């Protein structure tokens, strides 16, 4: 089922509660894989123990920042890092590029400040300018399956 980007019902999250991945998915009406992706993107669990538990206050802060980030304009060579909760440059100028469509490319790098994986979806027309700042590594076609990078600018991926 394809639907337009919707706002998450962040108000359902209780600050004082703790949630596991399945509970977060149920609460917000998301797939559990989406929640797992947030954990990779900087949503902080309480500790490293299994099952992963997240404090309501942390979840709320993460989602609020994420929705803000959609509207936030990073500089052309910046990515929004969800762990730093700020626009950051990619570490060592290295960025992986995955060509999603003729017009759109997904970029993946590591935050220069904290090392978290950072993503950005850009128009391919901007890549020559980015190549001046970053050493762009185009992913080989056989790796494209591992290239399901989340989009911050709305869901551009035809699912
Ligand atoms: Zn960071």
Per residue in 61-85, pLDDT (tens digit) is 999 888 776 666 778 889 989 889 8
What is the per-residue DSSP string for 8-27?
Answer: --GGGS-TT-EEEHHHHHHH
Please give the distance, rounded to the nearest whole angstrom, from the Cα atom of residue 110 to the centre of ligand 1.
8
Spatial separation of the C-alpha atoms in residues 31 and 14, rounded to whole Å? 19
Spatial separation of the C-alpha atoms in residues 82 and 119, rounded to whole Å? 10
Q: For 128-157, how does the pLDDT look when each residue is reduced to its tens digit (9 = 90+)?
A: 989 988 999 988 654 444 454 444 444 444
Domain architecture of the chain: domains with CATH: 10-70 (1.10.10.10), 74-146 (no CATH)
- Whether the per-residue pLDDT at 118 is higher than 50: the answer is yes
Spatial separation of the C-alpha atoms in residues 50 and 62, rounded to whole Å? 20
Please give the distance, rounded to the nearest whole angstrom, from the Cα atom of residue 118 to the centre of ligand 1.
8
Please give the distance, rounded to the nearest whole angstrom, from the Cα atom of residue 1 to the centre of ligand 1.
33
Percentage of the chain lying above the pLDDT 70 cut = 81
Do residues 21 and 35 make contact, with C-beta atoms less than 8 angstroms apart?
yes
- The runs of H, that is alpha helices, within 83-135 are 127-130
Please give the distance, rounded to the nearest whole angstrom, from the Cα atom of residue 111 to the centre of ligand 1.
5
Task: Check residues 69 and 94 and name the one with the higher pLDDT.
Answer: 94
Q: Which helix (H) or strand (E) holds 67?
A: helix 56-71
């Amino acid at each position: 089922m394809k639907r337009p980007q919707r706002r998450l019902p962040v108000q359902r999250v209780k600050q004082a509660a703790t949630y596991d991945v399945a509970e977060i998915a149920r609460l917000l009406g998301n797939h559990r894989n989406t929640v797992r992706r947030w954990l990779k993107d900087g949503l902080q669990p309480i500790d490293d123990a299994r099952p992963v538990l997240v404090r309501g206050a942390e979840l709320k802060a993460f989602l609020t920042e994420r929705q803000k980030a959609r509207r936030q304009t990073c500089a052309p060579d910046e990515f929004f890092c969800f762990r730093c909760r700020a626009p950051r440059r990619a570490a060592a100028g290295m960025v992986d590029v995955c060509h999603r469509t003729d017009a759109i490319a997904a970029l993946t790098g590591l935050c220069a400040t904290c090392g978290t994986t950072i993503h950005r979806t850009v128009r391919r027309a901007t890549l020559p300018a980015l190549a001046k700042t970053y050493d762009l590594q185009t992913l080989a076609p056989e790796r494209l399956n591992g290239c399901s990078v989340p989009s911050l600018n709305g869901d551009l991926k035809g699912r």
